[in-house]
Amino acid sequence: MKITGKIEEVRAQVKAWKKEGLTVGFVPTMGYLHEGHQSLMKKAVENCDRVVVSIFVNPMQFGVNEDLDSYPRDLEADAKLCETTGVDLIFHPEVDEIYADGFCSFVDMNGLTKELCGKTRPIHFRGVCTVVCKLFNIVTPDQAFFGQKDAQQLAVIRRMVKDLNMDIQVVGCPIIREADGLTKSSRNTYLNEEERKAALILSKTIFLGQKLVEEGETDAKTLLAKMRENLETEPLAKIDYVEAVRMDDIEKTDVIEKDVLVAMAVYIGTTRLIDNFIVS
């Protein structure tokens, strides 16, 4: 496995692979990798001949009061996990390799971003789309792998790829959870012992929501009220949002039916955590 911070080296390597007729899978990440990221890499290894993982904490997708500086980083552990999973190349650029002096071109998403995380993180998806578009142009993968954990991001990337005619297949991968239900996330490291316990209210509420839907609940208002009520039983939890939207356009819906995304963001102390399920 090779590690590089240079765009030109990634381009040269991918070009050489393509010349041999090999397919390329791509997993964009911000590092501090865990089994959630690994599930995407495994899928990429399964689907493609060669796999590129990017590790880049993208400043453009963080708001001013967010955790850019404290975001956890551990390149050594990340490299080990990538190597054992069968990744061929890690792209780990410095910020100025991605955003050169005078950088002023952006990918802005007009739809899909006014609800859910777009409400509290107004510049987030512009940053995500811009960096993912750039990474796609650098890596030119056949397939790119994204987790359903960030379901709005997955919908936004699918839309961007469609709208901008990118010749890339976007593969969505299921949420990977800890044994007790908490979604695996690099941000879980911010939680102290008490908060870690309290954080279980998210997955418990997701499972409650799924159960209510399985039992026949189709009214979004009723479902969301019951889920909110459950979240409010945890004193350390502060709800950012609990909403039901259509997965394709991230617009609110009154009816719970197939392909509706039920998503939440909840603060546990100062840590903002997300979780969701999609009605199947």
Catalytic residues: 37
Total of residues contacting ligand AMP (CB under 6 A): 17
By C-beta, is 25 or 36 nearer to ligand AMP?
36
Report the alpha-carbon distance of residue 72 to residue 32 in Å, rounded. 6
Measured in degrees and rounded to the nearest 5, phi and psi for residue 29 equal -145, 170
CB 223 within 8 A of CB 256: yes
Among 38, 85, 143, 185, binds ligand AMP (CB under 6 A): 185
| Residues 133-171 as b or e (16 or more Cβ within 10 Å = b) | bbbbebbbbbbbbbbbbbbbbbbbbbbbbeeeebebebb
Among 184, 196, 228, 238, binds ligand AMP (CB under 6 A): 184
- H helices of the chain, in order, are 7-19, 35-47, 75-85, 95-98, 117-120, 124-139, 151-163, 193-198, 200-214, 220-231
Smallest separation, CB 172 to ligand AMP (Å): 9
Report the alpha-carbon distance of residue 39 to residue 278 in Å, rounded. 19
By C-beta, is 173 or 237 nearer to ligand AMP?
173
Smallest separation, CB 238 to ligand AMP (Å): 21
The stretch among 37-45, 110-118, 158-166, 253-261 that binds ligand AMP (CB under 6 A) is 37-45
Cα dihedral 2, 7, 8, 13 sign: positive
In eight-state DSSP terms, residue 17 is: H
By C-beta, is 183 or 230 nearer to ligand AMP?
183
Among 24, 37, 109, 127, binds ligand AMP (CB under 6 A): 37
Among 78, 88, 115, 150, binds ligand AMP (CB under 6 A): 150
CB 176 within 8 A of CB 184: yes
Report the alpha-carbon distance of residue 237 to residue 220 in Å, rounded. 22
Among 60, 89, 173, 256, binds ligand AMP (CB under 6 A): 173
**Residue 209 lies near ligand AMP (rule: CB under 6 A):** no
**Residue 131 lies near ligand AMP (rule: CB under 6 A):** no
Residue number closest to ligand AMP, CB atom: 147
**Residue 190 lies near ligand AMP (rule: CB under 6 A):** no
Report the alpha-carbon distance of residue 181 to residue 273 in Å, rounded. 13
By C-beta, is 140 or 203 nearer to ligand AMP?
203
Binding site for ligand AMP (CB under 6 A): 29-30, 36-37, 39-40, 146-147, 149-150, 173, 175-176, 183-186
